[in-house]
Amino acid sequence: MPRFELIATTTFGLETVVSRELEKLGYTELRVLDGKVHFSGDDRDIARCNMWLRSADRLLIKVGEFQAPDFGALFDKTVDLPWSDYIPVDAKFPVAGRSVQSRLHAVPAVQGAVKKAIVESLKKKYNRFRFEETGAEFPVEVSLLRDVATLTIDTSGEGLHKRGYREYAGPAPLRETMAAGLIQLSYWNRDRQFVDPFCGSGTLAVEAAMIGRNIAPGSGRSFLAEDWPWMDRRMWKEVRSEAKDLRLPRMPEPILGYDHDPAAMRLCERSASEAGVSGDIQFRVQEISEFKSNREYGVIVCNPPYGERMGDQQEVEAVYRELGRICDLLPTWGVYVITSNQWFEKHFGRRAPRRRKLYNGRLECQYYQYLGPAPPRLADGATGVDVEENKPE
Ligand SMILES: C[S@@+](CC[C@H](N)C(=O)[O-])C[C@H]1O[C@@H](n2cnc3c(N)ncnc32)[C@H](O)[C@@H]1O
Domain residue extents for the chain: 4-154, 176-215+246-370
Residue 162 Cα, ligand 1 centroid: separation in angstroms? 21
Helix (H/G/I), strand (E/B), else coil: 116: helix
Ligand 1 nearest-atom number relative to CA 170:
9
89-125: b (≥16 Cβ within 10 Å) or e: eebebebebebeebebeeeeebbebbbebbbebbeee
pLDDT at residue 312 in the model: 83
User: Residues 182-199: what's their mean pLDDT?
Assistant: 97
What does the alpha-carbon distance between residue 53 and residue 37 come to, in Å, rounded to a whole number? 12
Give the up-direction half-sphere exposure of residue 87: CA atoms within 13 A in the CB hemisphere. 31
CA distances (Å), origin 146, targets 13, 30, 141: 21, 23, 16
Pocket (CB within 6 angstroms of ligand 1): 169-170, 172-174, 198, 200-201, 203-204, 259-261, 264, 287-288, 303-305, 319
pLDDT confidence tier of residue 383, bands split at 50, 70 and 90: very low
pLDDT at residue 166 in the model: 87
Helix (H/G/I), strand (E/B), else coil: 323: helix
pLDDT at residue 79 in the model: 98
Long-range Cβ contact pairs of 107-113 (< 8 A, separation 24 or more): 109/71, 110/74, 110/142, 110/144, 111/142, 113/71, 113/74, 113/75, 113/78
pLDDT at residue 381 in the model: 45
Residue 331 Cα, ligand 1 centroid: separation in angstroms? 23
Ligand 1 nearest-atom number relative to CA 174:
8
C-beta separation of 33 from 49 below 8 A = no
User: Residues 333-344: what's their mean pLDDT?
Assistant: 97
Ligand 1 nearest-atom number relative to CA 288:
20
pLDDT at residue 391 in the model: 47
Per-residue pLDDT at 384 exceeds 90? no
Per-residue pLDDT at 36 exceeds 50? yes
Per-residue pLDDT at 380 exceeds 60? no
**Ligand 1 pocket test, candidate residues 259, 269, 308, 344, most atoms within 8 A of CB:** 259
Which homologous superfamily does the CATH classification assign to the domain defined by 176-215+246-370? Vaccinia Virus protein VP39 (3.40.50.150)
Residue 305 Cα, ligand 1 centroid: separation in angstroms? 6
pLDDT confidence tier of residue 385, bands split at 50, 70 and 90: very low
Compute the mean pLDDT over every residue in the chain, rounded to the nearest whole number: 93
Per-residue pLDDT at 338 exceeds 60? yes
Residue 153 Cα, ligand 1 centroid: separation in angstroms? 37
Reported pTM: 0.94
pLDDT confidence tier of residue 310, bands split at 50, 70 and 90: low
Phi-psi map region of 372: left, alpha, beta (phi>0 left; psi -120 to 50 alpha): left
Residue 186 Cα, ligand 1 centroid: separation in angstroms? 20
What does the alpha-carbon distance between residue 262 and residue 243 come to, in Å, rounded to a whole number? 34
Residue 283 Cα, ligand 1 centroid: separation in angstroms? 13
> Which secondary structure element, helix H or strand E, spans residue 148, and what is its range?
strand 148-154
Q: What number of helices (H) and strands (E) belong to the chain?
A: 10, 14
User: Residues 365-369: what's their mean pLDDT?
Assistant: 98
Residue 337 Cα, ligand 1 centroid: separation in angstroms? 12
10: Cβ–Cβ under 8 A, 6 or more apart, which residues? 17, 18, 35, 36, 37, 55, 56, 57, 177, 181
**Ligand 1 pocket test, candidate residues 178, 198, 260, 285, most atoms within 8 A of CB:** 198
Residue 200 Cα, ligand 1 centroid: separation in angstroms? 5
User: Residues 8-26: what's their mean pLDDT?
Assistant: 96
Ligand 1, atom 27: nearest CA belongs to which residue? Answer: 200
CA distances (Å), origin 234, targets 2, 91, 237, 253: 17, 21, 5, 37
What does the alpha-carbon distance between residue 313 and residue 332 come to, in Å, rounded to a whole number? 30
What does the alpha-carbon distance between residue 183 and residue 172 come to, in Å, rounded to a whole number? 18
pLDDT confidence tier of residue 168, bands split at 50, 70 and 90: confident
Ligand 1 nearest-atom number relative to CA 306:
1
pLDDT at residue 216 in the model: 98
User: Residues 235-243: what's their mean pLDDT?
Assistant: 97
The angle formed by the CA atoms of residues 237, 157 and 227, to the nearest 5 degrees, is: 40
pLDDT confidence tier of residue 379, bands split at 50, 70 and 90: low
User: Residues 148-176: what's their mean pLDDT?
Assistant: 92
- Topology of the domain covering 4-154: VC0802-like (3.30.2130)
What does the alpha-carbon distance between residue 158 and residue 153 come to, in Å, rounded to a whole number? 13
Per-residue pLDDT at 387 exceeds 70? no
pLDDT confidence tier of residue 93, bands split at 50, 70 and 90: very high
Q: Is the dihedral of CA 364, 31, 56, 113 positive or negative?
A: positive
Ligand 1 nearest-atom number relative to CA 169:
9
Per-residue pLDDT at 390 exceeds 70? no
Ligand 1 nearest-atom number relative to CA 198:
12
Residue 282 Cα, ligand 1 centroid: separation in angstroms? 16
Residue 199 Cα, ligand 1 centroid: separation in angstroms? 6
User: Residues 85-109: what's their mean pLDDT?
Assistant: 97
pLDDT at residue 389 in the model: 40
Report the percentage of the chain scoring pLDDT > 70.
95
